[in-house]
Amino acid sequence: MTNDNPIGFIGFGEAGFHIARGLRGEGAEQLFAYDINTRTPRLGDRIQERAKASYVTLLESNASIAAACDILFSTVTANAAVAAAEETAPFLQARHLYADLNSVSPATKQSISRIVASSGARFVEAAVMAAVPPHGHRVPMLLGGAHARTLADILSPYGLRLEVVSDQVGAASAVKMCRSIIVKGLEALLLECALGASHYGADERVFASLDETLPGMNWSRLAGYMIGRVMEHGERRAREMEEAAEMLRGAGIEPIMAEAAARRQEWGGRLNLADHLKGPAAEDYREVVKAIAAMSV
């Protein structure tokens, strides 16, 4: 089928790229992206490679992507979500559907909703409920807001897994944030555990013991996968955990664990090991621990 509603991505990192590539495979023909890092050394090269691989046209400004597209996906980082909305809002009109896919708190989603609505455009909150790769455009998403059903109806022919959970903005992101406390928290715990256990030569017994206590998880393999995600996306995950902490504070709950997970995630991300750990090494906690030890020599 042809795409009668041009789709644009504000921010073209991992999530935007994989969703766009999936949409292209489903027949979406008019795909665009604007990323502030398109001309930045190294980051810009990756963005341009992704655009070429997914047949996405790169544009040069918020104004140009708003002019070209009816549907806009905000796929930036959590700490840039509000700024992306503020910088795009002056160019939005009633014809636009602006969907925020970023991992931010309910309060932040509501703030973005107000920014978008002030332009006359329609806002939809989207909570991405799993890692985008390997799911691509079929990654499960929860939608919220008065215009969520409209967006779901328009995009349903392209195979997206969209579930409308509320006509109120904030409900979908609350599900996402509470889930992230567990998932991103577990990533941080496994990294810290692997570092300590490996130092004492206890790692194999630790993970074997976990396999007995909590069977069916394959803890050694899970540690490799989750620690690899911290190495690649730790700084982005740290921003997400800060949003989770904000959500908890808004509910009158001290975010002790969320803030600790944010610190460990950021620590892992700032090591910049992702470029050095490729293929199987990126998902073997032993290789990660070895690389971290080599840095401290």
Instruction: Using DSSP, state whether 37 is helix, strand or coil.
Output: coil
Per the CB < 8 A criterion, the answer to whether 74 and 11 are in contact is: yes
- At 100 the pLDDT is 98
Q: Supply the pLDDT for residue 279.
A: 67
pLDDT at 1: 40
pLDDT at 88: 98
Q: What is the 3-state secondary structure (H, E, C) of 215-226?
A: CCCCHHHHHHHH
Q: What is the mean pLDDT of each run of 10 residues along the chain (297 residues)?
A: 79 96 96 96 94 97 98 96 98 98 97 98 97 94 98 96 98 97 98 97 98 97 95 94 96 98 97 78 86 82
Q: Are 159 and 24 in contact (CB under 8 A)?
A: no
Contact 16, 73 (CB under 8 A): yes
Q: Going by C-beta distance under 8 Å and a sequence separation of 6 or more, which residues neighbour residue 113?
A: 123, 125, 145, 169
Helices (H), the chain: 14-25, 43-54, 62-68, 81-88, 106-117, 132-135, 148-155, 171-199, 203-213, 219-250, 256-269, 285-295
- Asked if 92 contacts 63 with a C-beta cutoff of 8 angstroms, the reply is no
Q: Which domains does the chain have, with CATH numbers?
A: 7-169 (3.40.50.720), 173-295 (1.10.1040.10)
Q: What is the C-alpha separation between 142 and 163, in angstroms, rounded?
A: 5
